[in-house]
Amino acid sequence: MPYRVDQIDPSKTAMIVVDMQNDFVAEGAALRSAQAAAMVPRLAATLKFCREKGIRVVYTAHVHRRDGSDMGMYDDLYPPIADRSCLVDGTKGVEIFGDLAPAPGEHVIKKHRYSAFFATDLDLVLREWGIKTVIISGTTTENCCHATARDAMFNNYQVVFLSDVTGTFDYPDVGQGSLSAEEVHRSTLTVLAFSTAHVMTADEFKSRVTVVANAAANKAA
């Protein structure tokens, strides 16, 4: 039976905003996810809620050095990465999309693979903060969000995966048939809900944080 996260303690929770960068969100970007772009207002409202409740917010940005020294297999997988038109460290494309800009003091973890935990100091930062639960938002659902959720679970964090503030793109047929963004998104949520995370909407997440806050207030009274 998949586990549930019914009560969320703000002091032990972090929101991880995965790769909501210009190269994935901005109009005309080669790697743009229309789903991710469409959910920007809902994610912005969710981040505002997190800050008001004292939930730490940490961002990730997928970047590569222009010389390809951290590239791995991405040159073979994605032409816009291979020709250095996307995800080049130090360019405007890798900056967080303006409507979701980090607040003062919030960190942006640079990563070179799908998972935000792979070869980064994210786990070190979360443990320093005493984090027990991570909330996953951002793009893309099946790659960077999914990989980050899996590695969070592997590192013994409780994982909440937000179904309506994650998104992806249409998949072309590369030999196994094509899939719409909606099909990819829904299938990934199904897998995660069974094996990795408590999948819920942003509003469901907010209601669980409120319950904990009210319980603490009642206990103090």
The DSSP string of 57-100 is EEEEEE-B-TT-TT-TTHHHH-HHHHTTSSSBTTSGGGSBPGGG
For 47, 68, 73, 173, the CA distances from 76, given in Å and listed in that order, are: 35, 12, 5, 17
Residue 44's CATH number: 3.40.50.850
- What is the average pLDDT score of the chain? 95
Provide the 10 A C-beta neighbour count for residue 141: 28
Q: Give me the percent of the chain exceeding a pLDDT of 70.
A: 94
Locate 128 and state its tokens: 């320093």
- For the annotated catalytic residues, the residue numbers are 19, 111, 144
Q: Does the residue 2 lie in any domain?
A: no
Cα 118 → chain centroid: 14
Residue 220 above 50 pLDDT? no
Domain that holds residue 32: 10-220
Q: Which residues of 103-122 are buried (b: 16+ CB within 10 A; e: fewer)?
A: eeebebbbbbbbbbbeebeb
- Peptide bond before residue 91 is cis, with ω within 30 degrees of 0: no
- pLDDT tens digits along 143-166: 999 999 999 999 999 999 999 999
For 103, how many CA atoms within 13 A lie in the half-sphere containing its CB? 12
Q: Does the residue 121 lie in any domain?
A: yes
Q: Does the residue 1 lie in any domain?
A: no
What is the average pLDDT across 167-178?
97
Which pTM value belongs to this model?
0.94
Q: Does the residue 4 lie in any domain?
A: no
Q: Which pLDDT band holds residue 213 (cuts at 50, 70, 90)? A: very low
- pLDDT tens digits along 32-59: 999 999 999 999 999 999 999 999 999 9
Phi/psi region, residue 220 (left: phi>0; alpha: psi -120 to 50; beta: rest), is alpha
Q: Does the residue 155 lie in any domain?
A: yes
Number of domains in the chain: 1
Residue 218 above 70 pLDDT? no
Q: Does the residue 5 lie in any domain?
A: no
Q: Does the residue 25 lie in any domain?
A: yes
Q: Does the residue 3 lie in any domain?
A: no
CB 206 within 8 A of CB 49: yes
